[in-house]
Amino acid sequence: MAESGLHTISESHPVSDEASFQGALLEVKRMLQQQGFDSVQSAKFLTAVSELARNIIKYAGNGWLELTPLNYLNRTGIQVEAIDFGNGIANIEQAMQEHFSSGGTLGQGLPGTRRLVDEFNIKSSSQGTRVTVRSWC
C-alpha cells in the first residue's frame, strides 16, 4: 500500500483495555475531522477501527493503533494500522469468510471491517498480526 509522498506524521496509541481503547478511538475521530471526513464516512471508519481494536484486546491482550493522516495529490485520507504481538491468525482466508468466528461471535468482524474501508490489508504470523486500513475523503 505504500506510495511515495503519501504519509505525513504518524501517531501511536496503545490499546490494552477499555480506557485505552476509548482514548485511541477519540484520536481517530479527531484525525477524521481534521482530514475533512463527513459524519457518515467517519462513522464507517470508526466502526472498522473499533473492531480492529477490540480484536487486539480479545485475541492478543494488547497492541497499538498507528494513525496516519494521508495527503496525496488532491486527496486526503486516513490510515490506521492495528498491530499486536499475539499468536496470530492461523488461517487468514478462513478468518475473512462471512460468519466464521474463532471467538464465538457472529463472524462479521474482519469481513465487515473490509467492507467499511477503501483499502484493507492483513498480515499475520505466530509473532503477531498487522491490519492496515485506509479510507479516502
Q: Return the pLDDT at 99.
A: 59
Rounded Cα gap, residues 12 and 29, in angstroms: 14
Tell me which residue has cell 477503501.
Answer: 118
What is this structure's pTM?
A: 0.86
The region, left, alpha or beta by phi > 0 then psi within -120 to 50, assigned to residue 81 is: beta
Q: Return the pLDDT at 97.
A: 75
User: What is the tens place of the pLDDT at every residue in 93-118?
Assistant: 877 776 555 554 444 578 889 999 99
Quote the cell numbers at residue 79: 490510515
Does the pLDDT of residue 4 top 50, yes or no?
no
User: What is the tens place of the pLDDT at every residue in 12-64?
Assistant: 999 999 999 999 999 999 999 999 999 999 999 999 999 999 999 999 999 99
The domains located in the chain, with CATH, are: 11-136 (3.30.565.10)
Q: Return the pLDDT at 27.
A: 97
Q: Return the pLDDT at 44.
A: 96
Does the pLDDT of residue 3 top 80, yes or no?
no
Q: Is 129 exposed, middle or buried (0-12, 13-18, 19+ CB in 10 A)?
A: buried
In contact, 40 and 64? CB cutoff 8 Å = no
Does the pLDDT of residue 1 top 50, yes or no?
no
The identity of residue 10, as a single letter, is S
Does the pLDDT of residue 135 top 70, yes or no?
yes
Q: Return the pLDDT at 90.
A: 81
Q: Return the pLDDT at 100.
A: 54
